[in-house]
Copies of this chain bind each other. A is one copy, B any other.
């Protein structure tokens, strides 16, 4: 039986999404059921941006990079003359993504995510989380996680799931705060990575961030990252966009274990945002959402299914 008392998901309205989650957990924790899932196989993977916290008006890591560039310009005025820095400060993502190899974005990453020790990078992210505020909600970014998803994380953990973040975001960026914010330890984060270099300096060991061997943990890269870091197939997967489509497929299609796929649909412009019903480029319904009915994935209608969005609404 599920290992909780009372309603484990109080921020979820009664309805098909909540029912589907509770029914799945009841099924796989019932030792008498043929669908019983042994604890080591209870691997849950969560996208982060748009699934556990918002991704508008920009992914929060992009906001970090922009704030970081802004704060450095007084000390490093040459940055202001760089057209890619100008594009970043103007929020011109299209310009940064021009070219087949996204040179603009890589240049911004090189300026803000490489060339420093992992410890120095950690301190920079920590300082940013303390000082920065989300432009619309006027709160620290890490105070903006979705309360219903936090409840789901805790409910799964109480039922012996091991929760992993599987995000396109940089793993070093996320590991700074995931343990405090989600109760997920750093070693349970799969994200975009590049190699560090190791050196034993006079003050001790130093790992320095580079952009070498960049691995982008998105779309088809997510199952690849899951295999590389976790090494077994998840049984529960939560996402919100086409970046999560392949990991939803990997989790649920022809999985010999009983599995569960979930998509957060952003339908609430009042409390959060409304988007992704249609892809802006093709006008089609986002592929993963379009596939949900035939795949049996649970679509969470944020406006209908959640009675609260944030810890403090």
Contacts and interface: CB of A to CB of B under 8 A. Distances in A.
A265 interface: no
A200 B231 contact: no
A187 B229 contact: yes
A195 B171 contact: no
Contacts of A228: 171, 193, 195-196
A204 B253 contact: yes
A205 B118 contact: no
Interface residues of A, number: 42
A231 B175 contact: yes
A205 B171 contact: no
Contacts of A230: 186-187
Taken together, the copies of this chain in the complex come to 2
Interface stretch (A19-27, A78-86, A219-227, A302-310): A219-227
A40 B204 CA distance: 23
Contact of A186 (B172, B175, B203, B232): B232
B200 A224 contact: no
Interface in A142-200: 162, 164, 171-172, 175, 179, 185-189, 193, 195-198, 200
Contact of A224 (B164, B171, B172, B207): B207
A243 to B, nearest CB: 13
A290 to B, nearest CB: 15
A224 B198 CA distance: 6
B198 A246 contact: yes
A164 B188 CA distance: 13
A250 B195 contact: no
A113 to B, nearest CB: 14
Contacts of A246: 198, 200, 205
A198 B139 CA distance: 39
Contact of A220 (B189, B198, B253): B198
Contacts of A162: 187
B196 A224 contact: yes
Contact of A232 (B164, B187, B227): B187
A186 B198 CA distance: 25
Contacts of A215: 195, 213
A232 B118 CA distance: 10
Interface in A205-242: 205, 207, 213, 215, 220-221, 223-224, 227-232
9 contacts: A40-B179, A171-B231, A175-B231, A175-B232, A187-B231, A193-B228, A196-B228, A200-B253, A207-B227
